[in-house]
Structure 1
Amino acid sequence: MSTTRVTPARLTAGPLTLRPWAPEDAAVLAGLYEDEAMRRWASAPVHDEPSAARWVAEQRRGRETGERLAFAVEETEASDARPAGHVVLKRSAATAATAEVGYWTAAHARGRGVAPRALTALADWAFATFAREGMTRLDLLHQVDNTASCRVAGKSGFVLSGLLPAAPPAFPLDGHRHIRRASRAT
């Protein structure tokens, strides 16, 4: 799919470290998904430790193909060792110019700016890493009733560009498309 070899072990964003998900994260991930908001907004099929282990394995396979570059987000200064969130870059073989980003924040880390910092770091890294392949745009999609995602998008340099029609079951309500262009990367 890609001519650029992607092997980032870690990215940093101030007090955050973004690192690949690991098999030993499965139990903690299952615990994070006990939160009602996580189950509502995150589309991952995580219900217990075995499903969390499958999800982590899918992230590894996505990294190997270069189509899904997912990172666990950790707060380096926090006493809590659980991941504070997740960010992902979803790349398609169809176009190198555009990719999609996604994220979630664990309940124990919400309201502390984790998502905007992690998403900004991911976007900056993506534009720098895939510039030679022509990546110029990142899309962030969310349901219209997810107002927190609108705030995170704006804080991360993504501009609202339009409405998307519902596409059940994965996207049951109308949505927003936010775009960040490479020229905004620093």
Structure 2
Amino acid sequence: MNVTLRVDGTPSAAALFLRPWGDGDIEPLIEAFRDPMLRRGASGPLESVEDVRGWLELQRRGWVTGERLGFAVCEAGPGEGRLVGSVVMKRAGSGQESAEVGYWTAAHARGRGVASRALEVLTGWAFDVFAADGLERLDLLHQVDNPASCRVAEKARYGFRRVLPAQPPQFPRDGHLHVRRADDPS
């Protein structure tokens, strides 16, 4: 599936486009993951070309299986194509009623609504494309000590549901579960 999604610009924020990851993203990913805040929430380091190539292969396989649909979020307009973040939808397989979404924003792009705007477009696309396959709910999880992710969830209309207990080592701290349903009012 070769998908490109577009997010309109606003008076205070550039337009964005979302596209599948590619080999041209190796250096921008290494640069983005130099940020300690981003590394803290990441599942693994992306410090070298080999790390990123392995991660990009995971992204490619995810599109083939339909289990991990990851998008590079890039700015449109001046500096077109500059990587500013990531959004992803993870599915356990076809016919599942729920999937999980995730995101991150590069340090240089934080505070400009990149994550919430990209997440909103990914959410609409996911419900449009996978409704016939049974998708009814998207779950968003983040650690409790990440208030910025709570704000992104709220802006993208993912309602807080509950605190999830830590599950080390993958989830070393308690988390928040936010949910958005296909039939939630717009």
TM-score with structure 2 setting the length: 0.92
Question: What is the RMSD of the two structures over their aligned residues, measured on CA atoms?
Answer: 1.5
Indicate how the Cα distance of structure 1 residues 164 and 95 shifts in structure 2: closer, same or farther if over 3 A, else same: farther
Where in structure 1 do 4 or more consecutive aligned residues deviate above 6 Å? none
What whole-Å deviation, never above 9, does each CA across 1:107-126 have from its counterpart, x for those lacking one?
01100000000000000000
Which of 5, 11, 24 aligns to 1:11? It is: 5
Q: 1:80/1:16 Cα in 2 relative to 1: closer, same or farther (>3 Å)?
A: closer
What is the identity, as a one-letter code, of the residue corresponding to 1:11? L
Amino acid at match of 1:109: A
The change in CA–CA distance for 1:156 and 1:58 in structure 2 (over 3 A counts) is same
1:144 offset after TM fit, Å? 0.3
* 1:110 to 1:78, Cα distance in 2 relative to 1, 3 A: farther
Per-residue CA deviation, residues 165-184 of structure 1 (Å, 9 max, x unaligned), is 10111110000000000013
Show CA shifts across 1:25-62 (max 9, x none): 11210111000111012224312221011111110111
| Distance in structure 1 (CA, Å) of the matches to 2:17 and 2:78 | 11
1:26·1:52 contact (CA, 8 Å) conserved in 2? yes
The residue type equivalent to 2:112 in the other structure is R
Question: Does the CA-based 8 Å contact 1:124-1:185 persist in structure 2?
Answer: no
Q: Name the TM-score, length of structure 1 as normaliser.
A: 0.92
**Aligned sequence identity (%):** 51
* Equivalent residue pairs, number: 180
**Partner SS, residue 43 of structure 1:** coil
Once the two structures are superposed, the pairs formed by residues 1-186 of structure 1 within 5 Å of their partners are 7-14=1-8, 15-79=15-79, 81-93=81-93, 96-184=96-184
| Structure 2: 5+ residue stretches without partners | 9-14
Quick one: distance in 2 between partners of 1:82 and 1:51?
Answer: 21
Distance, in Å, in 2 between the alignment partners of 1:100 and 1:143 is: 15
